[in-house]
Amino acid sequence: MHRRIFAPGALAAASLLLAVPASAATFAPGAPGIGDPYYPSYGNGGYDVSHYDLRLKYQPKTDELEGTATVLAKTTQDLSSFDLDFLLDVSEVRVNGVKAGFASSGEHELVVTPKTPLPKGTPVTVVVRYSGVPSTKSAYGFTTWHRTPDGAVAADEPESAWWWFPSNDHPSDKATYDVSVAVPDGTQAISNGALTSTSSKLGWTRYTWRQDKPQATYLATLALGRFDITTSTSEGGVPVINAYSKDLGDNDGAARASVERTGELVDWLSGYFGPYPFATAGGYVPNTTTGYALETQTRVYYSPKQFAAGSNTSVVVHELAHQWYGDDVSLKGWKDIWINEGFARYAQWLWSEHEGEGTTRELADYVYASHPADDAFWTVKPGDPGADGQFDLAVYDRGALAIEALRHAVGDDAFFTILKGWPRAHAYGNASVADFQRYAEQISGKPLSSLFDTWLFEPTKPGSPATGASLARSAAQVTQPKSWKKIEATNDVHGH
């Protein structure tokens, strides 16, 4: 019989190994990015969020925000730690009721280390207590928190959540939301979905909003200030909530003349895209200096500048079209932006035709003829434009040309079946350009790879056979449709 002798340190190490489950070797930190090649550090790996509960308090005079975020999620791997995308100052984090370690990392990462590792498939409740002055925070040299004379607005793309709540900030991880905000009496808090309650106490009014359908983080919005709020119901039965800053000045009338048509336009778009996918619709116009509009889910953000030249129903059509194409069906990765912007632009073309101000074919002719073959416009590939070209004019206009080309190739019956069927086929989910091509081929029964390659992925001006002789006309043969100036001005380009 032989006795094996261990040194004291080796014996202690052996005992430790016996005490640790064999599966412990599989626990690892979640990735600090979700894997999007355009934005490698955006989103996080290792878990999937199902719900955000945000309880906030905001002081407009000082821009101070404090809050408690409760994030409900499930792990998708064995996790030793995980990241949240966030910028404000954190005072406490709890994971499943137990205090957790936390630290800031990189430009916008909050690294959370639970007291005990989390096995794959574990339901997780993460509570983050925080505070700060969002307007003093920046990442990568920019901020998406916009101060206004009486408050602030969070609305931007591809990121805005970092400045007001911790999140898994990528469109592929959608969740439902409860957003409850206390503001001084006389100030309003506007967010997504339905207003479920208001209550006043000790000089503060609390507004609670609920978004009961999955929503991408960049589509979550928060507006704080003094607003005139209007409510109505569309003829098709959709409740509409709109809000206008009380100090819009000269733009007030044009903004209301446009945004107050939301119910009418939701019903009209439903004829093309199918039933409206959410419980409420609407928009808000704060007194900001930005120039863009953004399809924040159910409560569209509009800069006052969109109405500086008069009423602009075209931009309302664009942003409401996103409620189906972009919000209901969201992109899988940011390279799939064409599905959002191309179809929202094409909706503007359909509205132009409805108003007798230029048909979709006339608008397609005009765009095609307006850009000679050596124009850099044709070097941008709408199907994969790169992060720097994500909101380039070509993604909108060449993207809409691709849709007109598809219509010509498959015929109106199949085309309008595709328009209406796509949101139903991928309701409340995510999809890619490749998914859309497969769906269009399935509905039309035609091979479409050549058409998609030509219009979405070739960095050159397509030849006329792709869409028929109509698009081969020269610029001299094409007149500018009446609606073009309004359409041209409504790129929802989100600048920082």
Per-residue model confidence (pLDDT) at position 491? 63
Q: Which of 91, 8, 43, 3 is nearest to 334 (CA)?
A: 43
Q: What's the CA dihedral at 380, 272, 434, 385 to 10 degrees?
A: 20
Q: What angle do CA 351, 356, 357 make, to 5 degrees?
A: 80
pLDDT at residue 470 greater than cutoff 80:
no
Per-residue model confidence (pLDDT) at position 184? 98
pLDDT tens digits for range 182-221? 999 999 999 999 999 999 999 999 999 999 999 999 999 9
Per-residue model confidence (pLDDT) at position 463? 80
Per-residue model confidence (pLDDT) at position 401? 97
pLDDT at residue 490 greater than cutoff 80:
no
Q: What is the C-alpha radius of gyration for the chain, rounded to an integer number of angstroms?
A: 25
Band of residue 494 on the pLDDT scale cut at 50, 70, 90: low
Contact 209, 86 (CB under 8 A): no
The residues, any chain, with a CB within 8 Å of residue 429's CB and separated by 6 or more, are: 174, 214, 329, 330
Per-residue model confidence (pLDDT) at position 495? 47
Contact 86, 159 (CB under 8 A): no
Q: Which of 49, 344, 330 is nearest to 216 (CA)?
A: 330
pLDDT at residue 74 greater than cutoff 50:
yes
Per-residue model confidence (pLDDT) at position 480? 75
What single DSSP character describes residue 454?
I
Q: Please give the mean pLDDT across all residues of the chain.
A: 92
Per-residue model confidence (pLDDT) at position 14? 37
From residue 383, give the alpha-carbon distance in Å to each of 263, 273, 331, 459. Answer: 32, 21, 12, 11
129-151 in b/e form (b: 16+ CB < 10 A) is ebebebeebbbeeebbbbbbebb
pLDDT tens digits for range 140-182? 999 999 999 999 999 999 999 999 999 999 999 999 999 999 9
Residue 390 burial class via C-beta count within 10 angstroms: exposed 0-12, middle 13-18, buried 19 and up: buried
Contact 398, 340 (CB under 8 A): no
pTM of the model: 0.92
Instruction: Give the pairing of strands 79-85 and 430-431.
Output: unpaired
264-300 in b/e form (b: 16+ CB < 10 A) is ebbbbbbebbbebbbebbbbbbbbbebbbbbbbbbbb
Band of residue 365 on the pLDDT scale cut at 50, 70, 90: very high
Distance CA 377, CA 372 (A): 9
